[in-house]
Amino acid sequence: MGVVNVTPDSFSDGGQWIDPARAVAHGLELHAEGAGILDIGGESTRPGAEPVDEAEELRRVLPVVEELARAVPQATVSIDTSKARVAEQAIEAGATYVNDVTALGGDPGMAGVVAAAGCQLCLMHMLGSPRTMQQDPTYGDVVAEVAAFLTERAELAIAAGVAPEQIQVDPGIGFGKTEAHNLELLRRLDEIAAIGFPVVVGLSRKSFLGSITGRGDPAARVAASVAGAVLAWERGASVLRVHDVAATVDALKVAAATLAAP
């Protein structure tokens, strides 16, 4: 899953792709590098991010969704939103995947939109909201609590008419977690996979990788991100949400060939 942030304030690439033409070109490049899913987002979810109103989010994402869906029909175009109307209009424009960081908690209409469209749905765990999530996040057992939350949200989606095979789950690394929580989730990711849904992991360029490596610039965390992606895949991740597609694809090819070797 390649990241296409159509935002001025995302933590790693805010402002780079705010122009629709540049965002589309970036999405095409990510697809050429091996991204099977292109995740279009018009509202930053970095720690401390302010919410974006519906009209502005639609203005940012719809031209990009529509053009990428037209240009690369073999790719899955994803809309990264927690707003039902944004999801609905993005689906009309060609998106077939909804990536909801609130796990249906942000808008009571979201489950119905997904169920009616029959598209894929990613449910992510987040403690609080982007504005508050890093204010002293606390868990007893972070893996058990995240797994229980994702199971409950998946059951809610199914009760609303979403088919189980449409659902994927994301433990939300970096969303209301300390460095220790993130590493514990990565180390025990097989326990998240064991709840029975494909697992999406997004740790690309995140601040805990900078803390571990001493790399303050998110763009300098490519090697750390690739290492995390390989570890996540080895522990059961089905989808890796990344900024650096080519490097991640190469690393996964080596890891897969190694495990498949006689």
- Cα 127 from Cα 105, distance rounded (Å): 12
pLDDT in the model for residue 77: 98
pLDDT in the model for residue 10: 53
Number of domains in the chain: 1
Catalytic positions, written as ranges: 206, 241
Domain, as residue range, for 28 = 2-260
Percent of the chain with pLDDT over 70: 95
Length of the chain: 262
Which CATH number do you get for residue 93?
3.20.20.20
Tens of pLDDT, residue by residue over 4-32, are 999 875 555 545 667 899 999 999 999 99
pLDDT of 133 above 70: no
